[in-house]
Amino acid sequence: MGHSNQEVSMIVKIKMLTISTVLLVATLSQPAAPTVSAQTAAQTPTVLEDENPRAEPTSTLGGLSVHETQETISIQRGESTLLTYNKQSPPVPTGIDPIYARSGFLHPVKSPTGKTITATFPIDHAHQHGIFAAWVKTTYSGRQIDFWNLAERTGRVGHKRVNATFNHVAGTGFDVDLIYETAAEPIVEILNENWKVVAYPTDGSFYCFDIESQQRALTDQPLVVEKYHYGGMALRGRVEWLHAEKLVGADGGPHEVEPSDFLNDQGSGREQGNHQHTKWVSLHGEIDGKPASITVLSQADNFRAPQAARLHPTKPYFCFSPCVDGSFIIDRAHPLISRYRYLVTDTEPDPQWIEKQWQNWCGEQSIAPTKGTITFNGEPLAAANIAYYPELGGRPSYASTDEQGHYSLKLDEQTEAAKVGSGTFLISTSTYDEDSQEWSIERLPKGATEEGFSYEISPGQNVVDFHLSAQ
């Protein structure tokens, strides 16, 4: 079967800033495209070059950066915080039992306008902390262990170590280990849970980040996760989103209640959606009279997918719970690997947009070879980083230019291609010098490094050349 080789050319002149102009020349051809499974690409593990590498100081590419202190790791977009991981427990509020102290969770998680979506130490259920993971009903070596309800004093989950932080064209984030251990003597470390948290550049109207969780046994004894109506990867929303006529704080004072609800891929809300098997769940409500939402997508290859989701009848929390469908074992031969994507907006959930996001992440995707040349002030631009970010968010295709300024985009180390569809190119020349511990001066205008160039990858061979100049 023959292929169409119609060529399309375009020249776009864009005023980037008052002091800089960028000229973009793009040429592409359109034969038929191969396809790749998005869920297969999502399984590519992050390779850690060093034992405990840390990200370099803030990179300008995409405007994302990662920052680590003794207490936390945070990811920022410009000056705004997307999310914070707690290496240590935040201070326990007055009036709450210190038994509820916990580390190893995300809070706060914020919307693009800076609204806090999550809660920690909520006055109704102090053991729920932002985005967290735990099992409720488990058996280990004859012992009944509850990792979720800390007041039971049988099990705990907490931060163990930071393996890496990173900030590169494939995403900005961190790699950490958490420990599941008994709270009563004899203390036994039962599971290691590895989290890879990766945030991706977007157009700014929403935030997008992934959590890949790998739970692995640390002993020769299996952990049996029993059938139960909740437990797993959980999300706790704002205290003000409780369904209650009135809300009394730990200090005895009143708190304002704001409306909230759930929505899943079947169009179900809080009551009907409980324990439905679903691809995604959105928690949404009002903050100061304006809408906000956080949606969690469950990867298509997750254990027992589409997983059952526990939607609480009155509280702003839910979790994906494979234990709803029966017991299972985590042992040395059977780790539990799960992937979830989070979308945070300042709008009510849009089911069609969310479904496109899920298909973009999990469905069969058309890809196309994409290459080209980059010049700057008429000369080949060597050692430049170029990335193509899909309009819907998520992992980009990326490449570096050679001495002649040539590049060929890669989805991963094995696949030289980019996803077909609309997106944005970002280009940067800034590199990090290990000796001076400083970034080199960025030679390109912010229009190339942060604002980028809108483009649509077409089926077939794409040739996209960039001729940049600062005037």
Domain of 380, CATH number, reads: 2.60.40.1120
For the cut 80, the answer to whether the pLDDT of residue 74 exceeds it is yes
Q: Which of 322, 345, 361 is a domain's end point?
A: 361
CA angle 155, 157, 161 (to 5 degrees): 140
49 or 312, which is more confident?
Answer: 312
Read off the pLDDT of each residue in 30-40 and give the average, rounded to a whole number. 33
Give the position of tokens 């590199």: 431
Q: CB of 164 within 8 A of CB of 53? A: yes
Residue 99 pLDDT grade (very low, low, confident, very high; cuts 50, 70, 90): confident
Domain final residue pick, 339, 361, 383: 361
pLDDT tens profile 103-140? 999 999 999 999 999 998 877 777 788 999 999 999 99
Which residues does 378 contact at the CB level (< 8 Å), separation at least 6? 467, 469
First to last CA, the chain: 48
Domain that holds residue 251: 69-361
Residues 120 and 204 in one domain: yes
At 303, is the pLDDT very low, low, confident or very high (cuts 50, 70, 90)? very high
pLDDT, residue 10, reads: 29
pLDDT at 389 (0 to 100) = 86
Residues 151, 222 within the same domain = yes
Does residue 64 form part of some domain?
A: no
Is residue 60 situated within a structural domain? no
Beta bridge partners of 330: 223
| Per-residue pLDDT at 471 | 63
- Do 267 and 183 lie in a common domain? yes
> d(Cα 210, Cα 171) in Å, to the nearest integer?
10
pLDDT category of residue 47 using cuts at 50, 70 and 90? very low
pLDDT of residue 252: 59
Percent of the chain predicted with pLDDT > 70: 81
- Band (255; pLDDT cuts 50, 70, 90): low
The DSSP H or E segment spanning 14 is: strand 7-17
pLDDT tens track for 394-446: 778 999 999 999 999 998 888 899 988 888 898 888 776 666 656 677 778 77
**What gap in Å lies between CA 169 and CA 409, rounded to an integer?**
11
Structure token pair of residue 130: 């932002």
Query: Are residues 377 and 341 in contact, defined by beta-carbon separation less than 8 angstroms?
Result: no
Q: How far, in Å, CA of 314 to CA of 316, rounded?
A: 7
- In sequence order, what are the residues at sequence separation of 6 or more whose Cβ sits closer than 8 angstroms to the Cβ of residue 390? 360, 396, 419, 421, 422, 423
| 51, 113, 189, 301, 319 from 82: Cα distances, Å | 26, 10, 31, 27, 21
What's the pLDDT score for residue 5?
Answer: 32
* pLDDT at residue 43 in the model: 30
Residue 56 confidence (pLDDT): 52
Give per-residue pLDDT as tens, 208-217: 999 999 999 9
Give the three-class secondary structure for 435: coil
d(CA 406, CA 381): 8
Q: In whole angstroms, what is the distance from residue 371 CA to residue 58 CA? A: 28
Q: Residue 313: pLDDT above 70?
A: yes
Q: For residue 462, tell me if it sits in a domain.
A: yes
> What's the number of domains the chain is made of?
2
Tell me if 435 is assigned to some domain: yes
pLDDT at 341 over 80: yes
Mean pLDDT within 232-259: 74
Q: Are residues 251 and 314 in the same domain?
A: yes
pLDDT of residue 189: 97
In 186-311 the beta strands, taken as DSSP E runs, fall at: 189-200, 206-217, 223-225, 232-236, 247-248, 254-255, 260-264, 280-287, 290-298, 309-311
The reply to whether 275 and 216 lie within a common domain is: yes
Residues present in the chain in total: 471
Residue 180 tokens, joined: 């599941």
CATH code for the domain in which residue 179 is found: 2.70.98
Q: How much of the chain exceeds pLDDT 90, in percent?
A: 54
Ramachandran angles phi, psi of 331, nearest 5°? -140, -175
pLDDT(81) > 60: yes
Q: How far apart are CA 111 and CA 78, in angstroms?
A: 14
Q: Domain end: 335, 361, 387, which one?
A: 361
Distances (CA, A) of 450 to 111, 203, 313, 345, 400: 19, 10, 43, 20, 17
Alpha-carbon separation of residue 385 from 15, 22, 67, 101 (angstroms): 22, 17, 22, 42
Evaluate whether residue 407 is within a structural domain: yes
pLDDT of residue 436: 65
* pLDDT value at 245 more than 50: yes
- Beta bridge partners, 13, equal 23
Q: Across 29-43, 119-133, 327-341, which has the greatest mean pLDDT? A: 327-341
Instruction: Give Cβ neighbours of residue 335 (< 8 Å, ≥ 6 apart).
Output: 214, 215, 216, 217
**Entry pTM:** 0.79
* DSSP conformational letter for 99: G
Amino acid at 117: I
Average pLDDT, the chain: 83
Closest CA to 323 of 339, 337, 308: 308
